[in-house]
A and B are shown apart, each in its own frame.
Chain A
Amino acid sequence: MSLETPAQSQAEALPVGTPRLHLIIFAVLLVLLLIAPFVLYPVFLMKVLCFALFASALNLLLGFGGLLSFGHAAFFGSASYITAYAAKDWGLSPELAILLGTAAAAVLGLGIGALAIRRQGIYFAMVTLAFAQMVFFFAVKAPFTGGEDGIQAVPRGHLFGFIDLSSDLTLYFVVLVIAFGGLLGIYRIIHSPFGQVLKAIRDNEPRLISLGYKVQRYKLAVFVMSATLAGLAGATKALVFQLASLTDVYWTMSGEVVLMTLLGGMGTVFGPLVGAAALVTMENYFAGLGAWVTVLQGVIFVASVLLFREGIVGVIARLTKKSL
């Protein structure tokens, strides 16, 4: 797809020194993530990374494109199903399975996006939700998805034919590369001229139209990118947990990822990571509390909406007067 952009003369909106700060944060993050599996449980960390990527993908669309998709589980889940099926029944190697799943999410994103971007606001959200429900029903009924049981016992296989992924630690570093690569990709997109146009569309769409930008193409492009990255997260998760199930395509998954993004800080670079880490930690370490987990999630959500609407990272950014 070609994106013809009229003369680009956006002044860098970020305060001076911000890229440097971001670089430092990314570096510190990478170091922490490299040490983390030796301190914390690797499978848990992989889950955090998958959801961090998923939430960042949604944030690309929501925080920077201004489009609230309530159907991102469709991309996450369908990629996870395709990857699981390709790895298990076709015996594809993990890298091909992940690529296939991600590609499927991209194609699905193109189809759904092309229709959804014709509407705005709540209608856009509803259209994406409706499509996600269709994907859910497809997953319930299609013979290859295993219905309620999902696709189980997906082999992790050997990456490129020689790296054995059955060890959690090895797989962790592969997931780290995928997720971190995805995050850097998103960062690059946000700070490209394309990203600047996106933010401008988010802030004042009629103005951009009057300036001669083909707004719909930008929206579609960012929708497909977001869907693809969500698919990448879902595909990776299928290999980590060795299963694909209805949970991944259910509408609550779409809700959960919106919650992660809002809690962490919509429209910030690092917010979704923090939000994903917070929610996954809650789900995991408080599992012993039973029903209180969901209550706690609800309370936190209400509190974050009422008290700090910018999200955790949003608040930090405001207090430190830095763009994060």
Chain B
Amino acid sequence: MKLRTLALASLAALLMAGSAMAQTSVKIGVLNDRSGIYADLSGEGSVIAARMAVEDFDAAAKGINVEIVSADHQNKPDIASNIARQWYDQDGVDAIFDVPTSSAALAVAEISRDKNKIFMDSGAGSADLTGKSCSPNTVHWTYDTWALAHGTGSALVKEGFKKWFFLTADYAFGQALEKDTSAVVVENGGEVVGAVRHPFPGTDFSSYLLQAQASGADVIGLANAGGDTVNAIKQAAEFGITQAGQKLAALLIFITDVHALGLETAQGLVLTESFYWDMNDQTRAWSKRFAEQNGGNMPTMVHAGVYASVLHYLKAVEATGGKDTTAVMAKMKEMPTDDPLFGKGEIRADGRHIHDMYLFQVKSPEESKGPWDYYKLLATIPAKDAFRPLADGGCDLVK
């Protein structure tokens, strides 16, 4: 099979020799969770998104031969590191995409720097990827915890929800999320009336939720992730917290979580994302194509990020006429980004991709008009305010 591809490729190259078009072969790896808790928000969907990017770019016609490989890192950084090394050393992979789970993403970022290859992250949240652990080989596309905390915090305070109460997972990640969000809330003229730390992972949130309810806060911020957030939302629904007028703000949640929870439970939840399928004609058209290949499930912002980053990568490969890492990275940062899903944007010196973020509220079952009609837009956070200022990240590449 491989031999035949090779033979065909060399034949094609032979035929094209003499013509001005240079034949470049690139191999991209989509590394993510294909079996665990992030399989829905990344997983096979990200591979579909990458394939769509290659089709839409019409790579073959432009003399770029793209091969996509994928693997499951099971959310374990050692497996991620092992696969990434093997891909770079043995399988000739030029760039790795997606990689949810911060620990795995940081591991892949280090290896990509060592081997001088390109890493474009979509699935992971750690703001360190473009902060103190930044690397000249990393691009972080879709979102990060800073953007989510600040987006939700500032936009809600501006909407007039000033009094906050935090329900925080008691470990480094949750505490950081609470600290970041509190700072934004206070900065924008809001007030933090209280916070409660729950053990990680937690199952029973009832006492914390009652405390939050009694605090008289306008917003209950959920500074946790994954199963904790889902459990907290379910139990909040049982207490009728959002129906009673308090807002529930999840600081890290995806549309697939909302889909799993159902509108009955998730209604009224406020969250920040960088992409929603039902934003405009372009996103709807793309998402419809995506859903056809993905068993009817709409894309998450992570899928959108994989699509957009693959597209931008291929543009840079075409522009530089090769796949030299340094040249392609320089081109990607120099060239403004433009794709149907995130619109126009740019990649900053620290590798952070800049685009608008959106504050959404989950619709009630009555408001929803059909499957996957889940969000209504509350506010748009303009690109310039959506991400951590370049100077504050502590990245060595910024001088």
* Residues of chain A whose beta carbon lies under 8 Å from any beta carbon of chain B: 41, 43-44, 47, 140-141, 143, 146-150, 152-153, 168, 237, 241-243, 245-248, 283-284, 287-294
Closest chain A CB from B202 CB (angstroms): 13
Closest chain B CB from A171 CB (angstroms): 12
B81 contacts A44, C-beta separation under 8 Å: no
Closest chain B CB from A175 CB (angstroms): 14
Q: A243-B110, A247-B77 are in contact. List 18 more A-B contacts (CB 8 A).
A: A41-B86, A43-B86, A44-B82, A141-B170, A149-B103, A149-B126, A149-B128, A152-B77, A241-B107, A242-B107, A245-B77, A247-B76, A287-B83, A288-B70, A291-B35, A291-B39, A293-B35, A294-B35
Closest chain B CB from A286 CB (angstroms): 9
In whole angstroms, what is the CA distance A283 to B170 when docked? Answer: 31
Q: Is B390 an interface residue (CB 8 A)?
A: no
Contacts of B89 in A (CB 8 A): 41, 43, 168
Q: Is B237 an interface residue (CB 8 A)?
A: no
A293 contacts B172, C-beta separation under 8 Å: no
Closest to B201 in A: A140
A247 contacts B78, C-beta separation under 8 Å: yes
B82 contacts A148, C-beta separation under 8 Å: no
Q: Is B79 an interface residue (CB 8 A)?
A: yes
State the interface size on chain B (CB cutoff 8 A). Answer: 35
Could you name 13 residue pairs across A and B whose Cβ atoms are closer than 8 Å?
A: A41-B89, A147-B171, A148-B172, A148-B173, A152-B107, A153-B110, A242-B110, A245-B103, A288-B69, A290-B43, A292-B35, A293-B35, A294-B35
Q: Bits for B121-139, please: 1 = Cβ < 8 Å to A, else 0.
A: 0000010100001000000
- What's the A-B contact tally at a CB cutoff of 8 Å? 107
CB under 8 Å from chain A, chain B span 53-77 = 69-74, 76-77
Closest chain A CB from B93 CB (angstroms): 13
Contacts of B172 in A (CB 8 A): 140-141, 143, 146-149
With A41-B86, A43-B85, A43-B86 in contact, do A287 and B73 touch (Cβ < 8 Å)?
Answer: yes
Contacts of B69 in A (CB 8 A): 288
In whole angstroms, what is the CA distance A248 to B204 when docked? Answer: 27
Q: Is B5 an interface residue (CB 8 A)?
A: no
Q: Is B34 an interface residue (CB 8 A)?
A: yes
Closest to B104 in A: A245
